[in-house]
Amino acid sequence: MHQLIGWGDMLVFLNYGEQFLKMRKLTHQPFTRKGTESYRELQIRLTHVLLHDLLGSPQNYAKHVQRFTTAMMMEIAYGHRVVSDDDTYLRLVDEAIRVILDSGNIGLSIVDVFPFSGGETMGASIVLVIFAMLHHPEAQAKAQKEIDRVIGTSRLPDFSDRESLPMVECVIQESLRWNQPAPLAVPHCTRDDDVYNGMFIPKGSLIFPNAVFMCLDERIYSNPKEFWPERYLPKPQGNGEPHSGSTYGFGRRTCPGKYLADAGLYEKTIFPNWSIERLTSDCVIDRKTPVAGLGNDLGEDGAADARPDPTRIHWK
């Protein structure tokens, strides 16, 4: 399918070989953990614009989040600054994302396509955090209490505060594990016969990384369907469980922009230091129960499109 839509030369779709190795090296160089620090000023500038727009029209929160995560990708990749919703390149990126999602490639995860999916995936991850907070206001309250204690009200948080905000970090990581934004990564075929953990995998087998299963693995996570941010804290505060790490892909196919996306997710999640509330309170929320009036059910596999109805939530 990617050949039919003219995207056969994109890194995510390339077969392993010389061209793939060259493109991967070029793509990874600007996005090392250290390299992404050079983009922090840009991220902060765009976040300030995001905050301004959220205050002006909070009902359009998903649109604002998507616009400015995409704007960050466009400015980094092409040096193009997005200044309005009518921006030509912004519309082109939106169309490219639509083509990806409508192309029929089963299991296609936009987390692996840069620059188009960089904004979409980060935006989707931010919305997932919002959705998790609507389901679990007690976790949001704990994160807010930590922010108030560490930072106070005299300034906005910045990247240097991250290590001092373990509960905020836990909430972000648990939101991504609890409702994985990329349930299945891009499938690839084996080049040769292989044996893995005693299982024979014939040449040409189509392999799907099952991220949802990894996030809900009872051998790793206690009560995996429960939203429990403290699980990542060391004992006795938590259970010392590992971050899932599956959001950005695996092995040599890991998303090259994972450190940039991680920083962007942290910064955009913590900067809006406000309460997000649902306007209805007539149901008890758990993983299987949709938020009353929002029309969003996570489902058993955690793969639902969790995007709350903006008319049913309140920001303050």
pLDDT at 218: 94
Domains and their CATH numbers in the chain: 29-315 (1.10.630.10)
Q: What angle do CA 53, 57, 59 make, to 5 degrees?
A: 125
pTM above 0.85, yes or no: no
Burial class (CB in 10 A: 0-12, 13-18, 19+), 195: exposed
pLDDT at 290: 41
pLDDT at 19: 86
Residues of the chain with pLDDT below 70 are: 1-10, 97, 99-122, 271-316
pLDDT at 166: 94
pLDDT at 204: 92
User: How many angstroms separate the CA atoms of 12 and 112, rounded?
Assistant: 6
How long is the chain?
316
> Which residues, at least 6 apart from 63, have a Cβ–Cβ distance to it below 8 Å?
85
| pLDDT tens digits for range 87-102 | 888 788 777 767 665 6
Cα distances (angstroms) measured from residue 174 to each of 111, 125, 131, 159, 268: 18, 11, 12, 20, 16
| Cα end-to-end span (Å), the chain | 45
Find, among 310, 312, 272, 316, the residue nearest to 292 by Cα.
312
Find, among 153, 208, 196, 185, the residue nearest to 258 by Cα.
185
pLDDT at 8: 60
pLDDT at 239: 94
Q: Does the annotation place 283 within a ligand binding site? A: no
